[in-house]
Amino acid sequence: MIRLFIAVAFIALVGACAHEEGVEGKSTIRDQKRCSFYGNSADKIYCATTYTQVLVDPDYYAGRRIMINGWASTDGKAILLYPSKDSMDAIEFNASLLVKEADAPLTLSEYIAGQGDGSARVLVGGVLNFETSDRMADRRFGVLEEVVFMR
């Protein structure tokens, strides 16, 4: 009887840990399935993922510092990030993210401006947000804030 109790308690403990929500800088079993963590300072750990994963499970990534590849374009007023070149060419608003840059040595807008056609495939990191009062974000999938151009 005692062995059964210990086995049940152990299974309950392991199950609780597996469903624990992640804390930035610490990875849980759930996080390891969705993120590869990168960063060289404790306050800037990025969950590297794909744009598709963000579209599939936006609630998981909301408020997290993420790193994703995408196609960025600008019209001089705003920078938008799309999951693919086809999506960008079709101007698919519902799949695009409005980009709000952080101060950095080389900004995304400077990089895109140097590409000639106002667009480029990029790797960026930032905090994903769906709650915003920015009118530029209307009809967009969300806003990527504090964006740092990585490549």
pTM of the complete model: 0.71
147 or 36, which is more confident?
Answer: 147
The set of long-range contacts for 88-96, using a CB threshold of 8 Å and a minimum separation of 24, is 88/119, 93/139, 93/140, 94/139, 94/140, 94/141, 95/55, 95/141, 96/140, 96/141
Identify the CA nearest to 55 among candidates 126, 140, 115: 140
Say whether pLDDT at 62 is over 70: yes
Report the CATH architecture of 35-149: Beta Barrel (2.40)
Q: Could you give the percent of the chain with pLDDT greater than 70?
A: 69
3 or 52, which is more confident?
Answer: 52
Q: Could you give the percent of the chain with pLDDT greater than 90?
A: 17
